[in-house]
Structure 1
Amino acid sequence: MHGFSEGVNWKDPFYFYGSDAELLREKINGTLNNWISESLRIHEMQIRWAVQNEMARTVEDFLARRTRALLLDAKESVRISPEVARIMAGELNKNNDWIEEQINDYKKLAEQYQIA
């Protein structure tokens, strides 16, 4: 059941998944070493979850809206964008051209959020 969860632990990096947080944690348990970004607490399974369950369709959608990574650390989000694109491409049956386009588009966007 998707939705609200009582007794939220605000320090839990998955608190914003609400009642789905436990299900996501179960999926992560088998792949504990697949953190895409330790500092942003973004795991490979979060990318797959967003595509499969939340209709995420672009790297920008995942990094800017689903995880707020763009706002939290634009430089780190650019660093992980190729891996995010690769995982999303696998989930969406997209090719290397799509991956390159997603990375380039995201980098252009993220430039506006970085301090020179």
Structure 2
Amino acid sequence: MKQSTYLIGSLILSISILISAFMFSNIYSKSANGVNNSQTTTTSIPDLMTKKQLSEYLQISQKSIDNIILSDDSERAKLGSYDTYQFIPYLKISNQERFLKAEIDKWLQYKTGNH
């Protein structure tokens, strides 16, 4: 009687360990896949973006970016001093605007109040 109780207890414990190991492996593989997907997305964004790439990154139209630049340039011309990320940061290279991803991220943080 005692021996069968130990046997049943060991069987239940073994099944519990197997089930928890299976659940843990599923959770681990799902989180590992999520990390790989986000790394792929992050690495596909260049450090120096064109206006088209920026519009894809921000998920807004290129016309909206043009409007932001025009508005910011007009406002900036009126001011003597301003916060660094108050206006969209960009470079002019060969008469075309280029945007550094790191600077755009800081500008977004400033605009959303997370500075």
TM range (shorter): under 0.3
Q: Which structure has the bigger radius of gyration? A: 2
- Which has the larger helix fraction? 2
TM-score by length of 1: 0.23
- Which has the larger strand fraction? 2
TM-score by length of 2: 0.23
